[in-house]
Structure 1
Amino acid sequence: MLALALSAFVFNTTEFVPVALLSAIGDSLHMKPTDVGLMLTIYAWTVAVASLPLTLLTRNVERRKLLTAIFVLFIVSHIVTGFAWNFTVLMAGRMGIAFAHAIFWSISVSLVVRLAPPGNKSRALGMLGMGSSIAMVAGIPLGRVIGESLGWRQTFLMIAGVATVALPVLRMTLPKLQSQQTGSFSSLPVLFRKPMLASLYVITILVVSAHFTSYTYIEPFIHHVGHESNARITYILILFGSAGIPAAICFNRIYPHQPGQFLQACVFAVCACLLVLFPCALSIVTLSVHTMIWGGAIVCFGLAMQAWVLKLAPEATDLAVSIYSGLYNVGIGAGALLGNQIANGFGVSWVGTFGGVVGGLGAALCWLALRMYGRAHPSVH
């Protein structure tokens, strides 16, 4: 589980580190930072399109062997990204990383649950979430520091180096695991006939789109709205990620007892944070408090959604999580694209407001879906 948490750290760092390097990449490639943000859209939508077919194609491959192949592709693609001489080559490397990402997140959630001792599934998911959170705390801000001091290319090459270290650790610690309950094409109609599961998928798209409408452009937002220095922008990014660690602990303690209320609270918290992002950004004190709540809420949302998906689809866990991962990335891409349009059309200061409106739709659907599910399953709180 620790090795998989380390892997989650590596994968989450590389997915979101461009958020901290938009200006540096833009200056190097002679592009506006908001246009560079579209690389998150391309990356995320590649993951979205690839998740389901790649999961089905690899469903019979032994899991340790599959993870080894994923890491090799991941490392090679980072080397291509690190030496990219234009935006096209940069995106070719990023798409290779996206293919590795698509498979990793489709199988890692069910793997940690399989490896967890009996009665510790929530704790296992929390550990995986902790790896993701540490990426936000250390990986992304460190990537920004490296990018500012040595150049953004060195950030991606160093991620390749960390992955090269993580690969043998994973091979030494992970036992051979044959695929189980991965699902097949015949499982798809069964999954989508579950109203709560289908609702969760739509909620995922809405809430994640809302979040990334703002988070993708948080660097130029803080710079232009709050007029903060580069050091303070790095500080805010660290603060955002550090909130994920207590959030993972909170999930482990509260979610098992109140899964419905916990999910609903997370969605409403994310929505509220987006709506008040602009006024909170006018002071570093209010922005700091806001960032802690926002960062914790989005981490708890992701953990709660994964736990709900596993609970609702025990007969096809990899397939259900693959669909969730793909739709999560649809949301990332849609949010980055929407934020780009808002920033260019209305100004970067409006990304939180528009994101909050989209999030409000997700919050309303979440309330309705949980209410209907509660009526059909009175034991769920």
Structure 2
Amino acid sequence: MRLPLLSLMLVVFGLTTGEFAIAGILPEVAGDLAVPVSSAGLLVTAYALGMIVGGPVLTVLTARIPRRRLVVGLVGFAVLANLGSALAPSYPVLLATRFAAGLIVATFFAVAIATAVRLAPEGKAASAIAQVALGMNLGIVLGTPIGSLVGQHLGWRVTFAVVAGCAALGLLMVLRFVTELPSAATGSTFGELRVLADRELLLAIALTALGSLGVVGVFTYIAPLLTEITGFGATTVPALLLVYGAGAVAGNHLGGWLADRALLPALIGLLTALTATLALFWAAAEIPPATAVLVFVLGALAFAVIPGMQARVIGAAASAPTLAIAINAAGYQVAAAVAGRLGGWTLTDGPGLRSLPLIAAALTATGVALAAYLLRRDRQPVAA
């Protein structure tokens, strides 16, 4: 089981690095393509929109394709899209290639997790999922700062080329070690799609989007926040992204442990703490030591809320779990898309970069309100 899971984990690592590394090289991209930083931030939005569109649609349309064949196709497309980003001659072309790169990500994550479960021996499903998901954590902890460092010293195009190379290596390992598995579909395509009309699922997606919106907006513009507001040098940004990633790993484990014990109460507490931390980030943005500590806390809380949100989504769509995982990723990317656009407005037409963490805190508070509403409704007695 180890080598097939390592193959999938490596692809997850590459795709995660491709998604998050842009935050550390946003100023370099903007400068090279002669566009404002606010416009460069739309590259995050384009990638997120690709995941939003591609996740549910591709997951349903490819449900009857054997898993190994599907994984090979998805990863091959990701390699080409990231190479396209590395070679993009202009901002519009880069925008299009980032959208294309995002199209397959949610579906791949969903299929990778489902494949890990099917490859695992009995009683080892959770361990298999953890091994594949480790690629995401490593992508944040190692891939993002390394990608940012590469982009700052060798050019942002090299960052995307490295992402493509990492995905290509994972593809070769998939071809060698992942055996053929049957398709995941158990019913009609219409039956799979009916889950999208479920009110509980829509509320769960809304919770994912609202709870993530603020912190994703801050992370999208973390490089200019750290350099222009706090006063860190550009060379310090990769190290601070490593701090953020370390917090993300710790928070992911903490969030899962808390959600297993009391899902919605844990989410309410974590989202409240995230709201307060974003407000503190705004208040202390010009104090470098405090900001460095808060970067770790932000990473921890941003990822501590994810296990509970994912569990809520999967529980609401038990009849189509693979689609549910893709939808959960799409809900997160709704937040990323809106956050990129909102951050751009804040920088250009709004109150400015300095106020972004405070706006993020207010947005996260709406996630607290929704989680509290869901908890109160869940605790209401069912009418006879």
TM-score (norm 2): 0.91
Contact persistence 1:130–1:244 (CA under 8 A): no
Q: What is residue 17 of structure 2 aligned with on the other side?
A: 13
Equivalent in the alignment of 1:210: 214
Residue 31 (structure 1) aligns with: 35
Which range moved further: 233-242 or 245-254?
245-254
1:223 aligns with 2:224: no
Q: What is the CA deviation profile of residues 340-363 of structure 1, one whole-angstrom value per residue up to 9, with x for unaligned ones?
A: 101222110111111111111111
Residue 69 (structure 1) shift: 0.6
From 43, 68, 74, the equivalent of 1:70 is: 74
53, 59, 76: which one aligns with 1:55: 59
Post-superposition Cα deviations, 1:74-115, rounded to whole Å, max 9, x if no partner, equal: 111122111111112212322221122142134233333444
Unaligned runs of 5+ in 1: none
**Shift in CA distance, 279/52, structure 1 to aligned 2, threshold 3 Å:** same
The one of 177, 180, 183 equivalent to 2:184 is 180
1:360 aligned partner, one-letter code = A
Please show how residues 215-254 of structure 1 align to structure 2 within 5 Å.
Answer: 215-254=219-258
Are residues 1:163 and 2:146 paired?
A: no
User: Does the C-alpha gap of structure 1 residues 142 and 182 become closer, same or farther in structure 2, counting only changes over 3 Å?
Assistant: farther
Among 350, 374, 377, the alignment partner of 1:372 is 377
Q: Aligned pair count?
A: 376
From 320, 326, 343, the counterpart of 2:330:
326
Q: What's the CA shift for 1:319?
A: 1.9
Find the partner of 2:108 among 104, 109, 112: 104
What does residue 299 of structure 2 align with? 295
Of the three residues 350, 353, 361, the one matched with 2:358 is 353
Alignment of 1:262-277 (within 5 A): 262-277=266-281
Partners in 1 of 2:16 and 2:246 — Cα distance? 14
Note the C-alpha offset of 1:6: 2.2
What is the CA-CA distance between 1:125 and the residue it aligns to? 4.2
How far the C-alpha of 1:123 sits from its partner, in A, is 4.4
Measure, in 1, the Cα distance between the counterparts of 2:365 and 2:123: 35
Determine helix, strand or coil for the equivalent of 1:64: helix
Question: How far is the alpha carbon of 1:28 from its aligned partner?
Answer: 0.8
After superposition, give the CA deviation of every residue in 1:233-292 in whole Å (9 maximum; x if it has no partner).
222111001112222332454432333333333322322222221123222222222122
Q: Distance in 2 between matches of 1:200 and 1:72?
A: 32
Question: Using the alignment, how far apart are the partners of 1:253 and 1:120 within structure 2?
Answer: 18
Seq. identity, %: 26
Measure the CA separation in 2 of the matches of 1:122 and 1:284. 39
* CA deviation after TM superposition for structure 1 residue 120, in Å: 5.0
Q: Which runs of 5+ in 2 are unaligned?
A: none
Q: Which moved more, 1:166-175 or 1:27-36?
A: 166-175
- Shift, 1:190, TM fit: 4.4
Which secondary structure does the structure 2 equivalent of 1:149 belong to?
helix
| 1:193 and 2:198 correspond | yes
TM-score by length of 1: 0.91
Read off the aligned partner of 1:327 and give its amino acid letter.
G
Work out whether residues 25 and 148 of structure 2, in 8 Å CA contact, stay in contact via their aligned partners in 1.
yes
User: Taking structure 1 as reference, are residues 191 and 46 closer, same or farther at Cα in structure 2, changes over 3 Å only?
Assistant: closer
Amino acid at match of 2:135: G
Contact kept? 1:259, 1:304, Cα under 8 Å: yes
Residues 58, 104 of structure 2: 8 Å contact kept: no
Summarize the alignment of residues 254-265 of structure 1 with structure 2, pairs less than 5 Å apart: 254-265=258-269
Question: Structure 2 vs 1, CA of residues 230 and 190 (structure 1 numbering), >3 Å: closer, same or farther?
Answer: closer
2:114–2:322 Cα contact (<8 Å) kept? yes
Aligned AA (1:354): I
Alpha-carbon offset, residue 191 of structure 1: 5.2
